[in-house]
Chains A and B, each alone.
Chain A
């Protein structure tokens, strides 16, 4: 039984074996990127916004402290940056590993 991903490349008479390796390496790189992104995701929300807020209480921001800013606005801005960074990085990764759609 030929795995779905390979079917196409076999037909094209290409590089069936290295194709499997390529997708494994691609997946590993993807998982690593996801893990790092999730660390940042948790740090700005659960960390700076809630649990680590006492540590940031010395940094004043507009009548309150940095933790309050992270809880109400900062975390959202970081989330945005994370998603666009991930999309950009993954599109590059798709091309590098030859697993893109085109």
Chain B
């Protein structure tokens, strides 16, 4: 059986499984649609949260970004896990105690203001839509590869699948489907990593192999990797090169963004008790950590494998020949990925060999001149292909490659579905039912929810064709927006009785607008290419990139809220009592809806 059929088989079987579960657990009532009837066990909920959370950014994109940058991109690892600490300590138990369905309902009630609820809805929609753009980028890469078509066609097909899939379910369908998706994606991520770790270090646990010894050279793996990339003029893998301030702010943005994203917070509304909300966050991180502890190993080992494939006899000997790339089965992956347009090479100096090195490095330029090289010849290597190409690069069996294709799609699909659900509930439940037409029937509300999903996916697909960055970078922007707008409002709502309606509205608006403008100035207005005035290489403010600005936006949000609340009328007594009741688990009971 050839690889194409094998991929189709794996992807097809996994899809049949998800759709089967979605149909079996179809949502009947609105309560089931949004919160799965609140009957989900913390471990199950943790697993579903993990699938919901680990998107194309974590699965497809992150290890690639780490592989080509090394230590400096550890920010993704710390940022996307550290947020769970904030979630467990600062938000989850209290939001569960409050017991409503959506994040904006909490904000509307706590700040006794329909305006606050509206502003929260807008913040949620902006952050979630940006997030879906990143997912669509990943979906495009995955479908493009396994159907062996261009990235663009892959994206369009993927969009149809995501839509069909998300419209079916609602939270109940999604919860159980996501458990299945978690199992598929974690196997798809760890199995090839185990194989590769065994090949390179002899250790079956990739997370330990990363710090183990490289079998072929007998040196520590990371020391070997540092040496080989240094010889090609690249930055050493384990050394700190990036701007420290930017690293700190970026990590902080990802952390507080995690605790401000509606589709993750919504998960904690679905557990039976307050104590379960605390445990749920922990279980979610257990399942997330299984992937996150493996990811840095995947990145480092893939970088070593790729570099050694390009220089099969060492960096002092001759580079790989064009002939070998065309004929040797070890290089088949280069042929298949070239079709997606995301990988390319060119024999610039016509010597029949492909030299891969850093042509911006002055020492390498001298060496290149001496050897007759005219620039780096591995001209294009999209970071987002690394994880999907990894089993092929390491020459693993065909079924592993098929499994990885299924896993990548599971990651992108589960998150896209969760986000679409958050967007649709924001529109139908908060906007239409909460504001425009409170008497809307359940049936029309569900209909409105589905229409909102459709609109969101069209916008995200359109923007996904020209994404503002690699999947994980686009997703990081979404985190910045959530960090600057939602998280501060939720936290102040629970931890301070002083913040009133005006303070919260002013804070959220200030955080959202300033962050959005900063992002648009660097990434183009509404992410339309070439409309930007600055670039992240030379940002407006010091060294602060647009992806890191969420942390600053959050600080602005806090400051404005305190200032405005100090100048306006005090919070009424019944709201102070509400805050105090949210702080203790007693009397949580089943959640209500108005």
Taking Cβ atoms with an 8 Å cutoff, the residues of A that contact B are 1, 3-5, 8, 23, 26-27, 30-31, 34, 37-38, 41, 45-46, 49-51, 53, 61-65, 68-69, 71-73, 75-77, 79-80, 82-84, 86-87, 90-91, 94, 98-101
Q: 24 A-B residue contacts at CB 8 Å?
A: A1-B573, A5-B577, A5-B580, A5-B584, A5-B587, A8-B587, A45-B82, A62-B220, A63-B226, A63-B238, A64-B220, A64-B223, A71-B71, A71-B74, A72-B210, A76-B77, A80-B282, A80-B285, A83-B282, A84-B282, A86-B89, A87-B278, A100-B586, A101-B588
A73 contacts B274, C-beta separation under 8 Å? no
Given A8-B587, A62-B220, A76-B77, 11 further pairs, Cβ under 8 A: A3-B577, A37-B89, A38-B85, A41-B82, A49-B78, A63-B211, A72-B71, A87-B282, A91-B278, A101-B274, A101-B585
Please give me the residue from chain A that is nearest to B220 by CB atom.
A63
A63 contacts B221, C-beta separation under 8 Å? yes
B538 located at the interface, meaning its Cβ lies under 8 Å from any Cβ of chain A in the complex = no
A64-B238, A68-B238 known; A76-B574 Cβ under 8 A = no
B238 contacts A83, C-beta separation under 8 Å? no
* A87 to B281 Cα, complex, angstroms: 9
B292 contacts A76, C-beta separation under 8 Å? yes
Taking Cβ atoms with an 8 Å cutoff, the residues of B that contact A are 71, 74, 77-78, 81-82, 84-85, 88-90, 93, 207, 210-212, 219-224, 226, 238, 240, 244, 247-248, 251-252, 255, 273-275, 278-279, 281-282, 285-286, 289, 292-293, 296, 495, 573-574, 577-578, 580-581, 583-588
Contacts of B224 in A (CB 8 A): 63
Please give me the residue from chain A that is nearest to B578 by CB atom.
A4
* A30 to B255 Cα, complex, angstroms: 21
Contacts of B255 in A (CB 8 A): 45
Contacts of A86 in B (CB 8 A): 88-89, 278
Looking at chain B's contact residues, the main secondary structure is helix
B240 contacts A83, C-beta separation under 8 Å? no
Please give me the residue from chain B that is nearest to A37 by CB atom.
B89
Contacts of B248 in A (CB 8 A): 46, 50-51
Contacts of B240 in A (CB 8 A): 50, 53
A46-B251, A50-B247 known; A101-B81 Cβ under 8 A = no
* A95 to B153 Cα, complex, angstroms: 58
Contacts of B580 in A (CB 8 A): 3-5, 23
Minimal beta-carbon separation of A36 from chain B (angstroms): 10
Contacts of B82 in A (CB 8 A): 41, 45, 75, 79
Best-buried of B212, B224, B296, B495 by chain A (most CB within 10 Å) = B296
Contacts of A84 in B (CB 8 A): 282
* A3 to B584 Cα, complex, angstroms: 13
* A39 to B509 Cα, complex, angstroms: 29
Minimal beta-carbon separation of A15 from chain B (angstroms): 13
* A91 to B250 Cα, complex, angstroms: 33
Minimal beta-carbon separation of A57 from chain B (angstroms): 10
Minimal beta-carbon separation of B307 from chain A (angstroms): 16
A83 contacts B85, C-beta separation under 8 Å? yes
Pick the contact of B296: A46, A73, A79, A94 (CB < 8 A): A73
* A98 to B89 Cα, complex, angstroms: 20
Pick the contact of A73: B226, B286, B293 (CB < 8 A): B293
Please give me the residue from chain A that is nearest to B223 by CB atom.
A63
Contacts of B210 in A (CB 8 A): 62, 72-73
Please give me the residue from chain B that is nearest to A71 by CB atom.
B74
Minimal beta-carbon separation of B62 from chain A (angstroms): 12
Contacts of A50 in B (CB 8 A): 240, 244, 247-248, 251
Contacts of B588 in A (CB 8 A): 101
Please give me the residue from chain B that is nearest to A46 by CB atom.
B248
B78 contacts A76, C-beta separation under 8 Å? yes
Please give me the residue from chain A that is nearest to B214 by CB atom.
A63
Best-buried of B212, B282, B292, B588 by chain A (most CB within 10 Å) = B282
A61-B211, A63-B223 known; A79-B81 Cβ under 8 A = yes
Contacts of A26 in B (CB 8 A): 584
A94 contacts B585, C-beta separation under 8 Å? yes
* A26 to B273 Cα, complex, angstroms: 18
Nearest 6 A/B pairs, CB to CB: A63-B220, A62-B211, A63-B222, A71-B74, A63-B223, A3-B577
Contacts of A87 in B (CB 8 A): 88, 275, 278-279, 281-282
Contacts of A64 in B (CB 8 A): 211, 220, 222-223, 226, 238
B211 contacts A69, C-beta separation under 8 Å? yes
Please give me the residue from chain B that is nearest to A45 by CB atom.
B78
Pick the contact of A79: B85, B238, B247, B251 (CB < 8 A): B85
A3 contacts B581, C-beta separation under 8 Å? yes
* A51 to B247 Cα, complex, angstroms: 10
A82 contacts B85, C-beta separation under 8 Å? yes
A75-B78, A99-B585 known; A83-B285 Cβ under 8 A = yes
Minimal beta-carbon separation of A80 from chain B (angstroms): 6
Please give me the residue from chain B that is nearest to A5 by CB atom.
B581
Minimal beta-carbon separation of B551 from chain A (angstroms): 11
Contacts of A91 in B (CB 8 A): 275, 278
Contacts of A71 in B (CB 8 A): 71, 74, 77-78
Contacts of A41 in B (CB 8 A): 82, 85
Contacts of B238 in A (CB 8 A): 63-65, 68
